[in-house]
Amino acid sequence: MRTLWSLFFLFFFSTINTIHAQTDETIADSSFVNLKDYSTDFVYDMKYATADNFLKAKVYDCPECLLRFKTVKALVKANEKFMKKGYRIKIYDCYRPLDIQKKMWQIIPNPEYVANPAKGSIHNRGGAVDITLVDSTGAELDMGTSFDFFGPEASHFYENLPDEVKQNRLLLKKIMRKSNFISFDSEWWHYNVKNASKEKVSNTKWKCD
């Protein structure tokens, strides 16, 4: 009888695993998915869904983090690594529809601050994230500048920073790079998933209630 039960459980759980694997395989790497459907371990502060950003304008109707599925998979893995060290990823920005890029370009038509929508950016392709780290109390680690700070201090190569800031940036960079992301020299918060430029610029929109 005991053997029969064991066999039943073995069959039951192997069926569940198979279903799960099939579900994952049916989603193409280039599909847009919402990060919150794949993990509840992220902290969100979607800056462009508020006026608390360099544009001083709310350009998203609501705060959702849409990304290509392959970006989500890599980001979830990165967050798991940070969590083992007592930190979590806090998200500032994810995929950005092309119409929003155009809106931003209308507000500040300067390629030093906003990517020209004629070219599009990796954010428009669903392969970029703007992030920082928070500790177990939810407090942001000191990264030396605020998000979207325009100046040399935001660069990974800027030397004149306290050791703690340098270590925090390095912690973020090390684990993101191990998790299939590429850092961006002039912005400590920006990461592109590898091969992100292969994806097309998109204008897919998310629904707001």
Give catalytic residue positions. Answer: 187
Q: Specify the residue, 73 or 190, whose C-beta has the smaller distance to Zn ion.
A: 190
Residue 23 token pair = 């579900």
Type of residue numbered 143 = M
Q: Is 90 in the site for Zn ion (CB under 5 A)?
A: no
Cβ proximity to Zn ion, 91 vs 175, nearer residue: 91
What are the two backbone dihedrals, phi and then psi, of residue 91, each rounded to the nearest 5 degrees? -100, 130
Near Zn ion by CB under 5 A: residue from 148, 190, 196, 202:
190
Rounded distance, CA 197 to CA 199, Å? Answer: 5
Q: Which two tokens stand for residue 49?
A: 């869904």
Q: How far is the CB of 26 from Zn ion (least distance, A)?
A: 30
Element (H, E) at 133: strand 128-134
- Site residues for Zn ion, window 114-153 (CB under 5 A)? 130
Q: Choose the binding region for Zn ion from 61-69, 156-164, 186-194, 195-203 (rule: CB under 5 A).
A: 186-194
> Tokens in use for 182?
């590429």
Q: Does the annotation list 156 as a binding residue?
A: no
Task: Give CA–CA dist 162/22, Å, rounded.
Answer: 48
Rounded to whole angstroms, the Cα distance separating 171 from 53 reads 25
Q: Give least dist CB 190 to Zn ion, A.
A: 4
CB 31 → Zn ion: shortest distance, Å? 21
**Residues forming the site for Zn ion (CB under 5 A):** 130, 190
Q: Detail the residues annotated as belonging to a binding site.
A: 123, 130, 190
